[in-house]
Every structure is written in structure tokens, then in C-alpha cells.
Amino acid sequence: MKESKFRIWLSAARPQTLAASIVPVMVGASLAWSHYAFRADTTLVALLCAVLIQVGTNFANDYYDFKKGADTDDRIGFERATALGLISPKAMLTATYVTMGLALLIGLYLVWVGGWIILLIGILSLLFGILYTGGPYPLGYNGLGDIFVFIFFGIIAVMGTYYVNALEWSTTSFLASLPVGALCVNILVVNNLRDIDQDKVSGKRTLGVLFGEKILKMEYLGLLFLAFLIPVIFYHFYGYGLVIMLPYLSLPLGWRLIKQVYYHQDKRNLNKTLERTAQFMILFGFLFSVGIIL
């Protein structure tokens, strides 16, 4: 019975999306390593905080989507524990606050190292993690989810990781955050493309609902283009060697994902595309990190 309950909570944490918290830390730490500023302690704490914030956000989404009636019987996405009655709404909300609270508590070490700016970043990350689907004006319900993900799981996560290592901001950490943010948003794009019909019914105004499937497909393609553009900029303008182009080894997989997004016949198949997009983010992030270090 305990194992079954564990699996339910593990599923609610949505481990298939955790690339969004792991890759930013990996890229930011790699850049710090290349600048001889890497710190194992702050990197590990940053990784733990990032994962906890991601899981807490997933718990919050599970709870608030249920409360707002977004998770209906017609849902074709991954199962939601609260909507299925596997976890009570009270338990899910408690888990949200406990997880976010742990992230805040552990993150105090980073505040001690990096100062008040890290405290501000941490509080905003926790706050917007809740406000993504909760609060009077949930970001994910009003076409702002993509911007939130790009900023917090891309720019802030990578630059913040670099900062708690090097204790300074840098242009290269900003540039390195762009492909991370782009690929992270693409996970959300596939999610929104899959759920577009259900979102219309439930009143969830994602970019897909507001502008249609064609815009989502163009967004996916454009963000992939941005991701592959950044290594070229590093090579031509920042003195990095040809090894920085390692992410191009993932191009065949990226091309396959584009075809799945553009030419899928059944939206249920996009569940697998979502998982593959997260896996692609990990592969790209790993190759990009190796290129930065070497």
C-alpha cells in the first residue's frame, strides 16, 4: 500500500517535466566552471531548490486546475491525482506549501552566499510558482504561462545559478539562458497543443486557445531555432571553440519532434512528444554544457 501511495505522489510530481529544473542549473554551473568560479556547494543547493520549486509548482497546478474545473473527464494528458480522487485537495495543497517551504528554507544558504538579490529571486520564484494556476489572475489561464516559464526556468534559473557560483552577473550567462528558456517553453507548448480543446471548454486561455494551433506550432519551431542559434553566437562572437557546436548533434531528434508537432494525427500521441521534448532539452543542455566546459 505504501509503495502504491509513493507511486501516486511520484506521478503527481511529474518527473517527466523535471528537465525544466535540472538543465538550467547544469548550464549555469558549467559556465561558472569554464570561468574558474564553480562551487559544488552552491550548485548542489541550487539544484535541490530548483527541483523542489518545480515539484511544488506541479503540485500547485494539480490542485488549482482541479479547483478551477480544468481537469475534466475528457482530459487526454497525464493523469492528475487530485482530479482522480487519488489525493485529497487538502493533502495536495499541503504538499504544495511544504515543498515550497523546503525550497525556501534550503535556499537560505544561497541567500547567505549571494545576498538579498537571491532572496528576492527565490521569493518571486515561489510566488509565481503558485500564481501560475492559483490566485485571482493565474498566469497559465491568461496567456502568460510561456513568458513566466521563459523568464523563471530559463533566464533567472541559469543566471541565478551562475551568480551563486561566481558572485557576479555576466552577458554570457544571459545568452546561455536563452536556449534553456526556449526549450523549457517548448515543453509547455506541446502541453498546450495537446490540451487546446479541453482548455477552450474550461476557460483556460493559453496561447493556443487565444491564437490557434498554427501559432503554437510556429512557436515550437521558432524556439528550437533560437536554441540552435546561441551556440553559433558563442562561437562567432565570444571566442568559444568549435566544440561549442556540440548541441547540433541533437538536430536529428529536434527535426523528428518538429514533424510530430506539425503532423500528429491524434493528440494523445503528444504525451509522448512532450516526454521526448523534455528528453531533448536534457540532451541539448548536456551537449551545450560539455561544449562550454571544453
pTM of structure: 0.91
The predicted model gives 241-270 an average pLDDT of 94
205 SS3 class: strand
Note the pLDDT of residue 33: 97
Please identify which residue in the block is written with the cell numbers 545568452. 175
Residue 170, phi-psi category: left (phi > 0), alpha (psi -120 to 50), beta (remainder):
beta
Note the pLDDT of residue 67: 81
* Cα distances (angstroms) measured from residue 212 to each of 187, 218, 290: 17, 10, 37
Of 11, 31, 23, which is closest to residue 162 (Cα–Cα)?
31
The predicted model gives 168-189 an average pLDDT of 95
Phi and psi torsions of 205, nearest 5°:
-95, 75
Q: What is the DSSP string of 96-109?
A: HHHHHHHHHHHHHH
| Helices of type H across the chain | 2-12, 19-34, 40-67, 89-114, 116-131, 145-150, 157-166, 171-194, 196-202, 207-211, 213-237, 251-263, 270-293
Model confidence at 246: pLDDT above 90 = yes
Give the residue, 108 or 206, on which the prediction is more confident: 108
Q: What topology does CATH give the domain 2-293?
A: Farnesyl Diphosphate Synthase (1.10.600)
Model confidence at 1: pLDDT above 50 = no
Please identify which residue in the block is written with the cell numbers 506549501. 97
Model confidence at 77: pLDDT above 70 = no
Residue 96, phi-psi category: left (phi > 0), alpha (psi -120 to 50), beta (remainder):
alpha
33 neighbors 190 (Cβ within 8 angstroms) = no
Note the pLDDT of residue 69: 67
Please identify which residue in the block is written with the cell numbers 511520484. 10
User: What are the pLDDT digits (tens) for 52-66?
Assistant: 999 999 988 888 888
The predicted model gives 98-127 an average pLDDT of 94
Q: Which helix (H) or strand (E) holds 87?
A: none
The predicted model gives 151-158 an average pLDDT of 94
Quote the CA–CA distance of 242 and 266 in Å, as a whole number. 40
Vertex 261 angle, CA 257 and 267, to 5°: 125
Residue 142 per-residue DSSP state: B
273 neighbors 7 (Cβ within 8 angstroms) = no
Quote the CA–CA distance of 52 and 45 in Å, as a whole number. 11
Q: Which helix (H) or strand (E) holds 39?
A: none
Model confidence at 172: pLDDT above 90 = yes
Give the residue, 215 or 205, on which the prediction is more confident: 215
Note the pLDDT of residue 74: 56
Please identify which residue in the block is written with the cell numbers 540552435. 228
Model confidence at 285: pLDDT above 90 = yes
